[in-house]
Amino acid sequence: MFEHHHHAEEHNSTPDLLRDVVSGLSDGLTVPFALAAGLSGALAQSNIVVTAGLAEIAAGSIAMALGGYLAARSEADHYHNELRREHQEVLVVPDREAEEIYDLMADYGLTRDETRPMVEGLMRNNESWVAFMMKFELGLEKPNPSRAWKSAFNIGLAYAAGGMIPLLPYWFFVSVDRALQVSCLVTLVALLVLGTAKAKLTGQPPLKSGLQTMMIGGLAAGAAYGIALLVSH
């Protein structure tokens, strides 16, 4: 007697949590880093940099969390609007919906005769028919009802955590120049690590992704520092 072993293929299906954390950390590292660098070019007191940085982290965390919430809500609203439309169409214009399945399967090289049994089977169950159209015609997956709040929390918390990294040296060094040097070192390393991890989302080679993320953060901080020097002197 033979046992059937299900073959599970590996695909690049990244959990929503990882996507949220990477998004929050990326902005959290870059924006406060640029702000701290800019303030370091104009000020001589570390405590002012810390105060301004904390204020930015608070505001940025709220803004990022709200953006994540609204994006997830918009995605859910779009799904449910399309779901209502598909339910209406399979009831009102079933022949047209059936033709859409034939056209869809033709793109995969299947003839009408080969597709007909599937179409007839779907037409006997409207719920399955709608589910098929949502997934294969529109490419939409049913959203998690708690996704919006979870996304807001994850992104906001990740932004705050990332933002603290470039600020920490200013807590420990009175000299702004020394604090900036250490901040640059630890933040660029953090950006390199984050970019390498982000390769799972983008599909890029890890080292290339890491160097790109580090370069973007470094350019933002360098530009802010340079502008502050020009304005303050």
| Model pLDDT for residues 113-162, shown as the tens digit of each residue | 888 888 888 788 888 888 888 888 787 787 777 788 888 999 999 999 99
Residue pair 144/19 in contact (Cβ under 8 Å)? The answer is no
Which of 23-27, 41-45, 219-223 is the least confident region? Answer: 41-45
Q: Is residue 142 part of a domain?
A: yes
Q: Is residue 76 part of a domain?
A: yes
State residue 44's pLDDT score: 66
Q: Is residue 6 part of a domain?
A: no
Count of helix runs (H) and strand runs (E) in the chain:
8, 0
Check pLDDT > 90 for residue 212. no
- Six-digit token pair at 207? 């080292």
Q: Which residue has the higher pLDDT, 178 or 136?
A: 178
State residue 14's pLDDT score: 53
Q: Is residue 145 part of a domain?
A: yes
Helix, strand or coil, per DSSP, at residue 153? helix
Q: Which residue has the higher pLDDT, 11 or 129?
A: 129
Q: Is residue 172 part of a domain?
A: yes
Helix, strand or coil, per DSSP, at residue 202? helix
Residue pair 48/39 in contact (Cβ under 8 Å)? The answer is yes
Check pLDDT > 80 for residue 200. no
User: What is the extent of the structural domain holding 78?
Assistant: 16-232
What average pLDDT score do residues 216-230 get? 83
- Six-digit token pair at 71? 């994006």
Helix, strand or coil, per DSSP, at residue 6? coil
Counting the structural domains of the chain, the total is 1
State residue 233's pLDDT score: 61
Q: Is residue 100 part of a domain?
A: yes
What is the residue whose two structure tokens read 């993320």?
213
State residue 13's pLDDT score: 41
Check pLDDT > 60 for residue 6. no
Percent of the chain predicted with pLDDT > 90: 17
Q: Is residue 5 part of a domain?
A: no
| Model pLDDT for residues 32-90, shown as the tens digit of each residue | 888 888 888 777 678 888 889 899 999 999 999 999 889 888 888 888 898 888 888 87
Q: Say how far apart CA 147 and CA 53 lie, in whole Å.
A: 29
Q: Is residue 9 part of a domain?
A: no
